[in-house]
Structure formats: C-alpha cells, structure tokens
Amino acid sequence: DQQVKQNSPSLSVQEGRISILNCDYTNSMFDYFLWYKKYPAEGPTFLISISSIKDKNEDGRFTVFLNKSAKHLSLHIVPSQPGDSAVYFCAALSNSGYALNFGKGTSLLVTP
C-alpha cells in the first residue's frame, strides 16, 4: 500500500520560473516530512523537511508547505535552475518509527 503518493511522474519548468512538486499521504500518524533530491546513479540527498507542528519551512530557494487537514505537502523551488533537474522524492516518518516512507518520485526538468 502506497502511503505517500506523488501523482505527477514528471514536471517541466522554464529556468527562472517556480517549480511546484506535490505530495499526498494517507497515514495520519506521519508527523515529519522530508524531500530528497536524487540524480541518476546517485543516492538520495536530503533537501528540506517539515514537522507537523509547522505549516511552512523555508531554506533559500526551497520552501515546503504542509496542509495537515488535506494530508498534502508541496515543495516550491523559486527561481528554478537547470541544476535543479533531478528526481524529487517526498518521504514521511511517523512519531513511533524510523522507517522513511517514500513516494515514487517526480522527475523535474528545468529548461534554459
């Protein structure tokens, strides 16, 4: 059962514009959410996270928004750069666990 869902397999955005990547989850026990970035043939790299007690966390060009009532989070990248082209994974953690639950990923392509 897929408890973390990323319904857009791919996204293409022009350089300089905003990229918005979406993620939905079903398990109400999740209380910590993370975004990972992954290049081909490399391991995931942690990007940004958010606790369920917050609704927004910002780090430079990256902002994550959490809507607990909708069980939805999104990652905003602005302005988008060609180097941001990668697969982005949404992951969730429950307060009683340590196993990250990953979505299937969204492949972002930022075109010049």
Binding positions for another protein, rule: CB under 8 A: 4, 6, 32, 34, 36, 41-46, 49, 89, 91, 93, 97-105
Strand ranges (E), 18-85: 19-25, 30-38, 45-51, 56-59, 62-67, 72-77
- B/e letters for 18-29, b = 16+ CB within 10 Å, e = fewer, are ebbbbbbbeeee
Of the two residues 2 and 67, which places its CB atom closer to another protein in the complex? 2
Q: Smallest gap, in angstroms, from Cβ of residue 104 to another protein?
A: 5
Question: Smallest gap, in angstroms, from Cβ of residue 20 to another protein?
Answer: 19
| Separation CA 76–CA 92 (nearest Å) | 17
Return the number of the residue (1 or 69) whose C-beta is nearest another protein.
1
Q: Supply angle C-alpha 89, 91, 95, rounded to 5.
A: 170
19 vs 101 by CB, closer to another protein: 101
For another protein, which is the closer residue by CB, 70 or 99? 99
